[in-house]
Amino acid sequence: MKTFEVFLKKDGKTQFRHVGSMQAPDAEMALPLARESYARRAEGDLMWLVDRDDLIVADDDLIAPNANKLHRHNDGKRVADHRRSHRDKEAGE
C-alpha cells in the first residue's frame, strides 16, 4: 500500500488545503478512494493527491536555527515609535 496526502480546494479564491492522508494500492486507485474518503459530501471541487514518497521533506535541523530570531517577529512598534518621535521633533522646530 502507498500513502497519499490529500488536498482539496473549493471553487473561487480559497487555496488548496491539506485535508488528510490515505492509503491505496497505487495512484490510479487512490483517486476514487480519495473521492469517497475525503470528498463524498463534495467538500471540495478540485482535488490533488501527492504520493508521500514524492514529498521533499526538510530536516528538522534545517528549520531549528530560526526558532530563536525575535527580530524576525517585528510588530512594527519600534519603527513606529521612532518615526513618531522624529515627527514630533520636526513639529517642535
Partner 1 sequence: MNNGLSPGATEWLLAFADDEHIIGARHTSWIGLGPFLEEDLAFCSIAQDELGHAIALYELLGVDVDRFALLREPSEYRSAWLCELPCADWDLALVRHWLYDEAEALRWESVANSSLEQLRFLAARAQREERFHLDHAEMYLRRLAHSGAEGRSRINAGVASVLPTALGLWEPVAGEPEAISDGITAHSSPELAVLWRERVETKLAAWGYDWQWPTEGPNQQRRTQRSRHFAQLLTDLQEVITVDVDTAW
Report the alpha-carbon distance of residue 14 to residue 43 in Å, rounded: 13
Report the alpha-carbon distance of residue 85 to residue 61 in Å, rounded: 41
Which of 3, 9 has the CB closer to partner 1?
3
In the numeric block, the cell 528549520 is attached to 63
Stretch that binds partner 1, among 26-34, 42-50, 62-70, 71-79 (CB under 8 A): 26-34
Query: Considering the complex, what minimum distance in angstroms separates the CB of residue 39 from partner 1?
Result: 10
Q: Is 18 in the site for partner 1 (CB under 8 A)?
A: no
CB 36 within 8 A of CB 22: no
Query: Considering the complex, what minimum distance in angstroms separates the CB of residue 20 from partner 1?
Result: 11
Which segments of the chain does DSSP mark as H helices, in order? Answer: 27-38, 60-63, 77-92
Q: Is 29 in the site for partner 1 (CB under 8 A)?
A: yes
Q: Which residues bind partner 1 (CB under 8 A)?
A: 1, 22-25, 28-29, 32-37, 40
